[in-house]
Amino acid sequence: MNGIRIRGTGRCVPERTVTNSDLAKIVDTSDEWITTRTGIERRHHCTGETHGALCAAAARRALERAGVGPEEIGGCIVATVTGETLVPSAACALQKELGLPEDIPCFDLNAACTGFLMGLHTMECLLTASRRRYGLVVGAEVLSRILDWTDRSTCILFGDGAGAAVVEWNEEFDSISAELGVRGDDQVLRLPGVETGGHSYLTMDGKKVFKFAVEAVPECIDRVLRRTGKAVEDVDFFVFHQANARIIDLAVRKYRIPPEKYYKNIQEYGNTSAASIPIVLSELQEQGRVRSGSRVLLAGFGGGLTWGGALVEFA
């Protein structure tokens, strides 16, 4: 025993919507080309919004939905690769903005698109030793800042946004049974760091990432089901990292997941990296499709290369 459940979720995306047709005006592509290959129809990009503002708005909504006050939070993790500064971290800035307690761990976690999943596992471990029973996990990205707008293999894929979850720890709760891993590769999906001396643009070998993903997602599902002793039928909902609609469709067919048990919003947001899974969770909770007692299997993958899965229940 000793585990966490999700009490409340929230999300925030920029106001500006960028359609496939908008991108076709600046790069050699088309709405049909993007939609058929990725499932993406539009994405949201920041104009005046900041990374910190997205985090704060998503977190406030999660706290409100959870019915938890900032003073009750025992830890804050922001999963991101696009924070406004390396130091202070986005989590430290969020602690100040929300008025979270000063005597709690607050830090950023860099695991690309798997970041929120790794953040949930890390928070479960932290709360085991905390005097407070609630934790805040945020996934947030402003990927539009790091895109090369002449590279159609990447600039069409990514959007900005933030998703947040307030989790509750209890010694009577089951663990989320996170299965996490890394297959180190610094070339398949790369974001150069400050040592380069120039602007850091995201680069990706799309074919290799796709091949990795179609192997990693089923592996994540299998590992979590084996560890928990559950079957597909025991899971109320499946939430996949929204990177490519075809990757999700392959998993759905493999496990014969019925339409009412999975969800795609990639057509609206594109790939929001660490924000992807919590944005889905927020929409599902808002729609009433997941509620107290719902058992949700999360599966994600990202640069690193990283992968992860977990079985999370809603409080």
Percent of the chain, pLDDT > 90?
A: 90
Nearest 5 degrees, angle CA 166-CA 238-CA 222?
110
62: part of which helix (H) or strand (E)?
helix 51-66
What fold is seen in the domain 1-315?
Peroxisomal Thiolase; Chain A, domain 1 (3.40.47)
Rounded CA-CA distance 205/294 in Å is 37
Contacts of 55 (CB under 8 A, 6+ apart): 12, 78, 90, 93, 94, 97, 138, 140, 162, 164
Indicate the burial class of 3 (C-beta count within 10 angstroms; 0-12, 13-18, 19 or more).
Answer: buried
Three-class SS state of 219: helix
Percent share of the chain, pLDDT over 70:
98
Of 205, 210, 201, nearest to 188 by C-alpha is 205
For 87, other C-beta atoms within 10 Å of its C-beta total 7
| pLDDT over 90 at 88, yes or no | yes
Strand partners, 136: 76, 166
Q: Which residues contact 184 (CB under 8 A, 6 or more apart)?
A: 304, 305
User: Which pLDDT belongs to residue 185?
Assistant: 75
* pLDDT value at residue 307: 96
The DSSP bridge partners found for residue 95 are none
Span 13-34, pLDDT tens digits: 999 999 999 999 999 999 999 9
Closest CA to 157 of 37, 280, 303: 37
Please identify every residue annotated as catalytic. Answer: 113, 241, 271
- Cα separations in angstroms, 30 against 19, 36, 61, 270, 272: 10, 10, 36, 15, 21
Query: For residue 246, which phi and psi values (nearest 5 degrees)?
Result: -65, -35
What is residue 155's predicted lDDT score, i.e. its pLDDT? 96
Question: Which amino acid belongs to residue 310?
Answer: A
Average pLDDT, the chain: 95
Check if the beta carbon of residue 299 is closer than 8 Å to that of residue 252.
Answer: no
Q: For residue 198, name the pLDDT band (cuts at 50, 70, 90).
A: low
Q: Positive or negative, the Cα torsion across 100, 102, 108, 114?
A: negative
Q: Is-cis flag, bond preceding 88, omega within 30?
A: yes
Domain ranges of the chain: 1-315
Cα–Cα dist 200/203, whole Å: 9
